[in-house]
Structure 1
Amino acid sequence: MIREWSTTAARTVRAARGAPAPQTYGLIALCCLIFLLGPASGFTHSYGTGDALLAAQRAYFRHWGVIPAGLFAEPVREALTPVTALFVHGSWVHLLGNMLFLFVFGVLTEERMGRVEFALFYVGCGYLALLGYALANADSEQSLVGASGAISAVLGAFLHLFPRARVTSLLPFLFFLPLRFPAWVVLPFWAGLQWYAAGRAPEGPGVAYLAHVIGFCLGFGYAWLRYGRQRREKDGPGEARVGPAPAPASKGENQP
């Protein structure tokens, strides 16, 4: 059994290396693996059940996630938590929503940026997005986990690099009909929804919409400064398909 698992893992690594966007696929695989091994997946029985499982989940999120109040109280000790939080997700919906958006928009963005630059861009913008949210909520004791800030940065960069790419969206108010719009329509609309939701978000557990807004602005700003007028968009860079359009995950980073 161990030999079969090692053989499968080796084949997966070789396939990722030969893929056009190995960093994107690697990030998806890593996030999924970490989730499956954590207490939120329900697959690891060593965390217990019932109240014991809930306590394990809270401790897990507090250990690996960002706690704004703790980050600024002990900045040296907590300095890496905005990085570790990018790979931790609070539920299956949270994970799958984020990974879907990363897959759809990450492949083309990585191909345009290159492997190393994309990896640094992803982690750097994700770190700053979570840090920005923590600064705006410096007294919060809530754990902040999830890759939505980094993925929002990918969406922002995608908007600048491929504004005419057709994005297939499922819009709830149009009875989830699959409609195709250019990225310059869909992504600013999505960002506007995040900004609106950030202003109305209640205190306590929920979606960290502000981290989405910060990440999106960072990603777009980086792509604009880095590539500017030198953007070379191929005719028909492929159709990005995703749904629903309003957010990269139904449940965002801010977890209990």
Structure 2
Amino acid sequence: MIPLRDNIPSRTRPGAGIVLIAVTMMVFLYELNLSPRDLESFFMTYGLVPGRLTGLLHPSYYPFEGSRYLGLFSSMFLHAGWFHFLGNMWFLWIFGDNVEDHLGHRRFVIFYLICGVAAGLAQIIADPGSHLPMVGASGAIAGVMGAYFVLFPRAKILTLIPIFIIFTWLEIPAVIFLGIWFLMQFVNGAVMSAANVQGGVAFWAHAGGFIAGMLFLGLLGGWRKPDPPVAKWSRQFSGGMRGL
């Protein structure tokens, strides 16, 4: 499921979200100029390696400089490829503006970073001895989605759904869209943990970030319900699916 837009216009310009996207993009452009060997070193240094932070891996296994705790923050600005980068930034753009509008610019940045750290810790708890570097903003963005789930459950998400070679779109309530997304992360994480498999997706970071977003929203005073959404296009797209 690919979200295209929601029906809640932001009252303010999402300045903090734009800055976060710009910083992440600059880091990604820097990555594109690195050789494969240098990129591996970059990820090992600034990515989040659970086993290095927990001390379960021997220090000689990682001959790279850098604080073991730095990756909790720096990893959320790294991405492994174009699809990874564009997908994360698109989700941040779709769901972040309304959460930022509700929290304010400064509190949104604090909230984003806290959720990113919490997501990393969730993955460490689930797989404390992993030697794979975790990179990507998806944990922090999952926190934003968790906040959106609490604040705007009745919002409508215009969603692109690929079915084989046919693409359809459907207007889905946010509570259903985000609920399905969270359930997918939780189930996939549980299956991989049960099979003792280390995959290429940090599902527990996604699930942990989502839960952290719901909880930390209250700590930042954001549980107050926002104004009802203004549905600018709900009539236009109501009525189910259409083929593209």
TM-score for both structures, normalised by structure 2 = 0.79
Structure number with the bigger relative contact order (C-alpha 8 A, sep ≥ 6) is 2
Q: What is the deviation of 1:239? A: 7.0
- Post-superposition shift, 1:173? 4.2
Q: Deviations over 1:99-146 (max 9, x none)?
A: 000000001110110011100000011011111211221111100010
**What residue in structure 1 maps to residue 63 of structure 2?**
none
Match of 2:43 in 1: 61
8 Å contact from structure 2 (residues 139, 205) kept in 1: yes
Partner of 2:19: 26
Deviation at 1:163, TM superposition (A): 1.1
Structure 1 spans left out of the alignment, 5+ residues: 1-18, 48-52, 241-256
- How many Å separate the matches in 1 of 2:169 and 2:175? 17
**Residues of 2 paired with 1:160 and 1:183: CA distance?**
10
Runs of 4+ in 1 over 4 A off after TM superposition: 237-240
Gaps of 5+ in 2: 1-11, 60-65, 235-244
Root-mean-square deviation over aligned CA pairs = 2.2
Aligned partner of 2:175 in structure 1 is: 184
The equivalent residue for 1:156 is 146
- Residues of 2 paired with 1:238 and 1:84: CA distance? 38
What residue number does 1:10 align with?
none
TM-score for the superposition, normalised by structure 1: 0.76
Residue matched to 2:211? 217
Matches within 5 A, 1:1-256: 20-38=13-31, 41=32, 44=33, 47=34, 53-73=35-55, 77-173=67-163, 175-201=166-192, 203-224=197-218, 226-228=221-223, 230-236=224-230
* SS state at 1:143 partner: coil
Worse-superposed segment, 178-187 or 53-62: 53-62
CA distance, structure 2, for counterparts of residue 115 and residue 164 of structure 1:
24
Q: By percentage of residues, which structure has more helix? A: 1
Residues 69 and 21 of structure 1: CA distance in aligned 2, closer, same or farther (over 3 Å):
same
- Rounded to whole Å, the distance in 1 between the matches of 2:225 and 2:15 is 22
110 and 238 in structure 1: CA distance in 2 versus 1, 3 angstrom threshold: farther
Contact 1:87 1:147 in 2 (8 A): yes
Aligned equivalents of 1:150, 1:23: Cα separation in 2: 14
